[in-house]
Structure 1
Amino acid sequence: MSYTIALNFEDGVTRFIGCNAGETVLDAAYRQKVNLPMDCSDGVCGTCKGHCEQGAFEMGDDYLEEALSEEEEAEGQVLTCQMVPASDCVIQVPVASSLCKTAVGSVDATLASVERLSEDSLELAVDLDDEAGLAFLPGQYVNIRVPGSDHTRSYSFSSLPGIRRASFLIRHLPQGLMSGYLSERAAPGDRLTLTGPLGSFYLRQVTRPVLMLAGGTGLAPFLAMLEKLAQQGEEGNGCDQPIHLIYGVNRDDHLVKCEALEAFVERLPEFSYTTVVVDEQSQHPQRGYVTHHMPAEVLHNGDVDVYLCGPPPMVDAVLGHFREQDIIPANFYYEKFTPNAAEEAA
C-alpha cells in the first residue's frame, strides 16, 4: 500500500510524493529526491518539523519532547523523520522548495477546446500528456505559457486532480495576452506547457460549515472543490456539514456554469448557493455585492470555514465587511486574482 503526501512549501510550490506503508515521510521524500530539512533523523533535534493539515498518521514514541512538545503535537505539528502516514496527507513544510532541492514541476498538454461562456469569460480544456493527469489540491493553480510568447498566465483548475482532461475558467479581456490567443488564434491540437501546482488556496478537510465566496472567474477553484466533495460522497465518504456558495458577477450575462451548480445541489445534499449581480439595472433577485447577501445563518456565529476567491476589490471588500461586523471565522482562506499578472491565480 502506498499513500500520497502533498508537501506544501512556504514559497507556494506543492510537491506530491508516494509514501509506502511503514515508511516515514522523511525517508519517502529523500527516496524521491526531495531533501526535506533534517539533521539527526532520530526525533532529537526538531529540524524536520512541519504541520500536518489533514490525514491520519502514527508518530510513535521515539522522539524527545524538546524536538516536539505535547502542545505542538496537539496543534498538528509533526516530525517528518518519525511520521508514518496511515492515509493520504497534506503537510506544510516551513521552508522554500529550493532549499529542499526540489522545484515546481511542469507538464505538456494539447489544447482540446475553447468555449465562450459569456461576454467576459472563456472555458479552456486541455488534454495532459500524462494519462494519469496532474496531482494537485482542489483550488490550486498552474502557470500556462501563452503560445508564441515567453509569458505565462495563472489559472485555477475547475476540474478534478488526477484526470487527463483539465479545465479552466478564464476572464476574457479584449487586450489580454492569453485572451487574445484563445479568442483569435487558438486551435485544437495546439501545444501548451503548464507549470505547477502552486498556491495555498485549496480545500481542507471539512469539519464544520463552509462558506464559499466567488467573484467572476474566481468560481473556478470552487468547481474543483465541489466536484471533489461530490466524488467523496459517491464513494461513501460524504460531507455532512452545510456548504453555501455566494457567486457574484457584474452583469446578468456574466453568470456561468449555473447548470453545474444545480447539479451539485443534487449530488451534495448539504450544498446550496446564491447568485448575486452588481448591475443596478438587473432584474436578478439578488442585486449588489456578495457582502449584501451574507445572512447570519451562513456565518454560523463564526463557527465556519470561509473560502474566498475573486478580484482584489472584492477580496478587500469582504475583509473590510468582516472587520466592521466583527466576524471572525474559524478559518479564512482567500486568493486574490489579477487578470494580467502571471504571479496571481485567476
Structure 2
Amino acid sequence: MSYKIALNFEDGVTRFVSCNEGETVLDAAYRAQINLPMDCSDGVCGTCKGACHQGQFDMGEEYIDEALSDEEAEQGMVLTCQMVPSSDCVVEVPVASTMCKTGNARVTATVAEVNLISPTSIELKITADDDIAFLPGQYVNIQVPGTEETRAYSFSSKPGSRDLSFLIRNVPGGLMSSWLVGKARTGDKVTLTGPMGSFYLRPIERPVLMLAGGTGLAPFLAKLEHMKANGCDLPTHLVYGVSNDDDLVCLDVLDRFTEELDNFSYVTVVSGDDSRHPRKGYVTQHMDEAPLNEGDVDVYLCGPPPMVDAVLGFFREQRIKPNSFHYEKFAASAPAAREKVA
C-alpha cells in the first residue's frame, strides 16, 4: 500500500509524492528527486521540521526533544525524517521549492470543450495527457497557446481525474479569453504548470461558510465535488455574489449539490442596480443563513479584492473571529503571488 503526500512549499508550489507503507516522508521525497531539507535524517537536528495538519501518521520515539518538542508536536509540527504516514497527508514545508531542487510540474492537456455559459463566463474542459494531482481549491497556470504568457485558473473539477474543468471570466480583449472564444478548437493542446496555492479544503471538523465572488465560484465547485465524494455531516453554506444577473452561472450544478449533500445550502446575491434578482447588494448583507456560530466556523473566501476587503471588514465589525479563515483574491490581469485569475 502507498499513500499520496502533498508537499506544500512556502512559495505556493505543491508537489505530490507516493509514500510506501513504513516509509518516511523524507525518503519518499528523495525517491521522487525532491531534496527536502535535512542534515542528520536521525531526528536529532530538526532541519527537516515541517507541519502536518491533515492526515494520519506515526512519529515514533527516535527523535530528541531538541529537534521537536512536545509542544511543537501537539501543534502539528513534524520531522519528515521520522514521519511515517498511515493515510494520505498534506505536509507544509517551510522553504521554497527551488531550495529543494524541484518546482512546478508541467502537464500537457487536450481541449475537450469550450462553452460560453454566459456573456461573461467561459467553461473550459480539458483532458490531461498524464495524471495530475491537486488539492480541492488549488489552481494551475495555463499557457496561452501561441504565446509565452500564462494565466492562473482554479480547478472547478474534482481531484483524481484527468478530466479537468475551469470556470473563466470572459474578459473583453483578454489574452486567454480571446483565444478561447475566437481560436480554440477541440483537440488543441495546452500546457499546465502546477498545482499551486494554499486555498485548499482542510479537514471538515465544524460548519463551513463559503463566500464566492464571480468566477471565484470555481474552487468551491471543486471543494463541493470532493465533499460529495468523501461525505460531509456538518452544515456547509455558500453565499455566491456577482455584479450582474448574467454573471450568475452553474446554478444547476449548485442545485444538484443541494440534493446530493444533505447539509449543503446556498444563496445568490447580485449587486447591480439594474438587477431583478430578489437578493440585491453584497454578500455581507445576506449572511442571515451563515453558520457563524460565534466563530466556531471555518470560512473560505474567493473573490475580487474589494469583496475580500469588505468581508474581512464585516468580521471585524461583528467582532467574530472564525476558527480559521482562508481567502484568495483574484484579478483579471496577470496573477501575482496571492492575487490570481479564478
Q: Is the partner of 2:146 in helix, strand or coil? A: coil
**Inter-partner Cα distance in structure 1 for 2:308 and 2:20:** 41
By how many angstroms is 1:66 displaced? 1.0
Q: How many residues align?
A: 339
Matches within 5 A, 1:268-287: 268-287=261-280
1:267 aligns with 2:289: no
> What is the Cα deviation at residue 345 of structure 1?
3.9
Match of 1:162 among 147, 160, 177: 160
Which of 204, 207, 221 is 1:206 aligned to? 204
Q: TM-score, normalised by structure 2?
A: 0.97
Verify the 8 A CA contact 1:244 1:273 in the aligned structure 2.
yes
- Give the drift of 1:297: 4.9
Instruction: Write the mapping of 1:32-111 to structure 2, written as runs, cut at 5 A.
Output: 32-111=32-111
Matched, 1:221 2:214: no
**Counterpart among 138, 141, 146 of residue 139 in structure 2:** 141
Equivalent position SS for 1:170:
strand
Q: Within the alignment, does 1:319 sit opposite 2:312 as a pair?
A: yes
Structure 2 counterpart of 1:289:
282
Unaligned runs of 5+ in 1: 233-237
C-alpha separation between the residues in 2 aligned to 1:27 and 1:96? 19
Mapped contact 2:209–2:290 kept (Cα < 8 A):
no
State the shift of 1:318 in Å: 0.8
Is residue 112–residue 187 contact of structure 2 (8 Å, CA) maintained in 1?
Answer: yes
Q: Deviations over 1:224-251 (max 9, x none)?
A: 000000011xxxxx21111000000111
Gaps of 5+ in 2: none
Name 2:16's counterpart in structure 1. 16
Aligned letter for 2:199? Answer: F
TM-superposed deviation, 1:317 = 1.0
Rounded Cα–Cα distance in structure 1 between residues aligned with 2:137 and 2:24: 27
Partner Cα distance (2:154, 2:182) in 1: 22
Residues 1:29 and 2:22 are matched in the alignment: no
Tell me if the contact between 2:237 and 2:290 (Cα under 8 Å) persists in the aligned partners.
no
Q: Report if aligned partners of 2:133, 2:159 keep a CA contact under 8 Å in 1.
A: yes
Distance 1:255 1:178 in 2: 21
Corresponding residue for residue 298 of structure 1: 291
Shift of 1:282: 2.2
Cα distance change on mapping 1:300 and 1:318 into 2, 3 Å: same
**When the two structures are superposed, what TM-score results if normalisation uses the length of structure 1?**
0.96
Name the aligned partner's letter for residue 237 of structure 2. H
> Counterparts of 2:302 and 2:341 in 1: how far apart (Å)?
9
* 1:190-214 Cα shifts (integer Å, max 9, x gaps): 1100000011111011011100000
SS at match of 1:298: coil
Give the distance between the partners of 1:110 and 1:189, measured in 2 at CA.
Answer: 5
Deviation per residue, 1:71-130 (Å, 9 max, x gap): 111110011111100000000000000001111001001111110111111000111112
The amino acid of 2:89's aligned partner reads C
Task: Tell me the secondary structure at the aligned position of residue 212 of structure 2.
Answer: strand
Contact 1:143 1:342 in 2 (8 A): no
Match of 2:184 in 1: 186
**1:127-164 deviations in whole A, cap 9, x for unaligned?**
1112xx31000100000011111100000000012212
2:234 aligns to what? 241
CA distance in 2 between partners of 1:134 and 1:271 (Å): 28
1:297/1:32 Cα in 2 relative to 1: closer, same or farther (>3 Å)?
closer
Structure 1 segments (4+ residues) deviating >6 Å: none
What is the Cα deviation at residue 53 of structure 1? Answer: 1.9
- 1:296 deviation in Å? 7.0
Aligned to 1:235: none
Please point out which of 223, 247, 253 is paired with 2:246: 253
User: Could you tell me whether the CA contact under 8 Å between 1:308 and 1:333 is conserved in 2?
Assistant: yes
Retained in 2: the 8 A contact 1:335–1:345?
A: no
Tell me the distance in 1 between the aligned counterparts of 2:136 and 2:74. Answer: 26
Letter in 2 for 1:332: F
From 229, 232, 247, the equivalent of 1:231 is 229
Give the Cα separation in 1 of the matches to 2:341 and 2:56: 30
CA distance in 1, matches of 2:289, 2:65: 43
Q: Which amino acid aligns with 1:21?
A: E
SS of equivalent residue, structure 1 residue 173: coil
Contact map agreement 2:237 2:289 (CA 8 A) in 1: no
8 Å Cα contact 1:12/1:198 also seen in 2: yes
**Counterpart code for 1:14:** T
